Amino acid sequence: MTRIYTRSGDCGQTSLCGGERISKGDLRVECYGQLDALEVALGAARLASKNMPQIEEAIVKATHELHVAGRILSSTPQSKWHQTALSPSELESEIDRFSAQLPPLTGFVEIGFNAAELALHQARVQCRFCERLCVRLSQSEPEDEALRAQLLPWLNRLSDLLFTMSRTATVKPSSDQKFAQSKVESV
């Protein structure tokens, strides 16, 4: 492709990998559009984490996997582009590695102590939004095995990893995690 514009989407249609044309208003397009927003949020978190090499490395790995997730969403279940693999277990290993450095979680975590922590929380919130949209897509397309069996668990673990890394970004080796004093009353 020598130019970025094709004019083929000017009337509200776009192509999935494999060539199938669908509406830009389709839930599948919304899902991969929000996945694109997640990649931007991860980029901001990476930039804010430049002085935290373990976090930056984990973000780079997650961003590469995010492209695999995009292939699942930007193709139909019948497409060869759809046949790919995401590994939630790799994210679980990263979560365990970061968690080993943290104090126990005893309450709601306060947010806003530094740019890296805030950017990681923003990425986590975007990841949860993507996950909810993908749940809706999996409910409307139950035949999409890769979406249900791979992408949903992967997004769930990614948001857990982002939360864990946000905690890591705020904890100094000699300090305690700051927890919000919740005013939530039991019912």
CA angle 14, 17, 21 (to 5 degrees): 35
Q: What is the pLDDT of residues 8-22, one digit of tens each?
A: 788 888 888 878 888
- Bridge-based pairing state of the strands 21-23 and 13-15: antiparallel
Q: Where exactly are the structural domains of the chain?
A: 26-80+113-169
Specify the CATH superfamily of domain 26-80+113-169: Cobalamin adenosyltransferase-like (1.20.1200.10)
Q: What is the pLDDT of residues 58-82, one digit of tens each?
A: 999 999 999 989 988 888 777 766 5
Q: Which CA distances in Å does 181 have to 25, 53, 99, 106, 114? A: 42, 31, 22, 11, 19
Band (186; pLDDT cuts 50, 70, 90): very low
SS3 134: helix
**The whole model's pTM is what?**
0.87
SS3 17: strand
Average pLDDT over residues 25-40: 94
